[in-house]
Amino acid sequence: MKSALIPLMLGVALLLGGCAFGKFDTQCNQSNNADKERADQSPMEQFEGSCYMENTEDVIYLAGGCFWGMERLMEAIPGVIDVQSGYANGMSKDQANYQSVCSGKTGFRETVRVEYDPSQVSLDGILLAYFYVIDPTIENGQGNDFGSQYQTGIYYTNDKARETVLRIADVERGRHNKFAVEIGPLETFYLAEDYHQDYLQKNPNGYCHIPKEEIELFSKLRIDPGDYKKPAAEAIRDKLTTEQYRVTQEGGTENAFKNEFWDTFEKGIYVDVVTGEPLFSSTDKFESNCGWPAFSKPIEEPAVVETEDLSFGWRRTEVRSRAGDSHLGHVFTGELESPNGVRYCINSAALRFIPFEKMEEEGYGYLKYLFE
């Protein structure tokens, strides 16, 4: 556990006072000399000499277990401007220090403040990266760490962020039998001690509950789910055919060998029929005797979500689209026909095909690198 890896530091001065955020009223607290020295460098603006107010619209606060790992993940995402570790939504400023928070009795969550450039990455993208690496079913813990300080949570500071957070949380809640992530406004936030900031940059071999492979993965992604938001339920019904709706919204399965793409191999990409989010490429499509389109992998791993499916009395792995939460099909391993042993068995009715020649015209030119 993280707490065993570093010595406790006694008497560390708190770096920032409490935060007030528009209509989310919180008490202003008197800052100390260390606060004042850091004020010019902080993305928070000093207000009336003692209270810090969030002055940036494009910011979100994420509690995802140990803040060392969550900070490193967010720093890796292109378009994220600044990440700071701290303690959120606790009971008392006097307890906003590592020694007190480690007791698990302060109400504080280890949290990172994430500021981002919306022209480069959407809040949808940040939140779905967050949900990709956490287990949203666990209370008071992530990875090897347990205690109320490791409770997961998403805390917003304005109505624009609130709308996005609630929309994404609603999608994620529907994917799990239990959903333990706190969702709500930020009440207070205090920066953690200096040695916690950029901890894994300073200590590359330090403890991290998020696999390095996943951090590296998110540093290279090009598809932003924020560009492919799920339409309202009524709009989906109006947009889809009866078969497309049955498959994507009701979890249906189309007939084998009697669907549009099972035996086509034209150059291009396959996108979610509901949102248009890119899912699969013809470069990863292979001939299969299953009777449905078969792919060895998605264009980007996080573009699809895998969930347990116990229907019909046997265990399978269902595949759903990330942004649209459309039912796509199932994924199987140990497949001899697949070049990597994996077969994503996908319903044609869940897909729309974009020929290579039309990718630029339809806004997918940024994915032409797949065919180089």
Contact 226, 161 (CB under 8 A): no
SS3 120: coil
Strands 19-20 and 51-53: parallel
Active-site hit among 19, 51, 208, 345? 345
Secondary structure (DSSP) of 73-117: HHHHSTTEEEEEEEEES-S-GGG-SHHHHTTT-S--EEEEEEEE-
- Where b means 16+ CB within 10 Å and e means fewer, 86-113 reads bbbbbeebebbbbebbbeeebbbbbbbb
Strands 59-63 and 153-156: antiparallel
- CA distances for 165 relative to 171, 208, 372, angstroms: 10, 25, 37
- 345 part of the active site: yes
242: exposed, middle or buried (Cβ count in 10 Å: 0-12, 13-18, 19+): exposed
Q: Which residues pair with 147 in a beta bridge?
A: none
Instruction: Name residue, tokens 């930020």.
Output: 186
Secondary structure (DSSP) of 172-190: HHTT-S----EEEE---EE
Active-site hit among 66, 102, 208, 290? 66
- 102 part of the active site: no
Active site residues: 66, 345
